[in-house]
Amino acid sequence: MEVRIERLDHYGRGITHINNKICFVENTLENEICKIKILNEKNKFIEAKTETIKEKSSDRIEEECPYSNICGGCFLNHMTYKKENEFKENKIKNIIEKYTSISPSKVTKIKYKERDYYRNKITLHGNSVLGYKKEKTNEIVKIDKCLIANKTINKIIDLIKDEKEIEEIVIKTSNDENNIMISITGKTNKLNELLEIANVLRINNEYKTKEKTIINQIGNKKYYEGLDSFFQINKDLTKELYDEIVNYIKDKKYKNVLDLYCGTGTIGIYLSDYVEKIIGVDNNKSNIEDANNNKKLNNCNNIEFICNKVENVINIFKDIELIVVDPPRKGLDDKTRNYLKTINPKSIIYVSCDPITLARDLNILNETYEVKTITPFNMFPRSYHCESVAVLERK
């Protein structure tokens, strides 16, 4: 049948209606006229695919990736980058308007960098071919090149793309691409070639190199990074996100700062020049080990780290003036959220990777805190994901 796409949902899917039932159509844009085929009909919604597009949007581009609509990683390949950034900014505004009492005018202009070659880490899976898992399946799509992986990673993909016995390979680089880490599960016929280029090489949990970490840099701070360390994957935009926080706090002269879900200490250490004391909390032992090493690497004497779940220790803190939270996708748990209000800092900075849980948490915190700004960051171009930095001040 033929339909007109009314708008896009938060995942970038086109929305139309068939017999008063909502229908999701992938790979479409607003106002396009499409011939579609219904794939799945449920009680409340329909899923369909595009057969042909009879009237194209001016925001549509030819898809540059040969794996578009196959590997499922980049949902927005068919959209201009200008439209993608507009879509993500409006997505944050719509979610804030729908799920909170906060004005969507608090959402500022989205920040972004290059659309391609931005990732400093990828994971490929193997089963006679090497590639990405097709969305919602275990089927592997063979990859010869990835538009969103940086150029150094793509050179390594080219080297190992025909390997048959690699079960999984993780490739990470420093942001400047001068240092490389590789972890392989399975067998490789390229051991010597990989040893020539990798600073860190691990095969089946056995290190083949003397070094087990590399040094990555963000602004004027350096960080040890291991194969299992968490590190922001956008090599270009991470500094701007951290600078967003610095620009807010640098003249405030906060004495005591709490950095929750601190990971390897990257944000806390980045802020350490502007505050008197920071305490970082994370429940991952490896993260805290890295954080303490990063503290020494940067001669950072005003920060300490606690290895524990945030909800287990949140009630011990007093006299905190600023709290920075960077939680996982599920957002803040009830106890942590309530204790943020009990601790009653002057300011809270919330770094979010999921706008739905951000909206939920901000709506509750908004009882005692005013949301000053919510700044979207397009950390994951070509996907529907978007990060945000929210600044809250005590009312």
Residues ≥6 apart with Cβ < 8 Å to 236: 113, 114, 118, 175
**What pLDDT, on a 0 to 100 scale, did the predictor assign at position 71?**
84
d(CA 36, CA 47): 10
d(CA 240, CA 162): 37
**What pLDDT, on a 0 to 100 scale, did the predictor assign at position 135?**
78
Dump pLDDT digits (tens) for 215-274. 999 999 999 999 988 889 999 999 999 999 999 999 999 999 999 999 999 999 999 999
**What pLDDT, on a 0 to 100 scale, did the predictor assign at position 91?**
97
d(CA 46, CA 36): 11
Over 80: is that where the pLDDT of 369 sits? yes
* Residue with the larger pLDDT of the pair 66 and 156: 156
**Candidate from 130-144, 146-160, 161-175, 366-380 with smallest mean pLDDT:** 130-144
pLDDT band at 138 (very low <50, low <70, confident <90, very high): confident
In the chain, pLDDT over 70 holds for what percent of residues?
Answer: 100
- Helix then strand then coil, in percent of the chain rounded to 5, is 25, 35, 40
Over 80: is that where the pLDDT of 72 sits? no
Average pLDDT over residues 385-390: 97
Over 80: is that where the pLDDT of 136 sits? no
The yes-or-no answer to whether 2-60 and 121-216 have a common fold is yes
Burial grade of 362 (CB within 10 A; 0-12, 13-18, 19 or more) = buried
Average pLDDT over the chain, rounded to an integer: 95
Q: Which CATH number fits domain 2-60: 3.30.360.10, 2.40.50.140, 3.90.1150.10, 3.40.47.10?
A: 2.40.50.140
Over 90: is that where the pLDDT of 5 sits? yes
How long, in residues, is the chain? 395
Over 90: is that where the pLDDT of 309 sits? yes
Average pLDDT over residues 358-367: 96
Average pLDDT over residues 129-146: 90
Which fold would CATH assign to domain 84-114+235-394?
Rossmann fold (3.40.50)
Q: Residue ranges of the domains in the chain?
A: 2-60, 84-114+235-394, 121-216
Over 90: is that where the pLDDT of 70 sits? no
**pTM confidence score:** 0.94
Q: Which CATH number fits domain 121-216: 2.40.50.100, 2.40.50.1070, 3.40.50.1980, 1.10.3210.10?
A: 2.40.50.1070
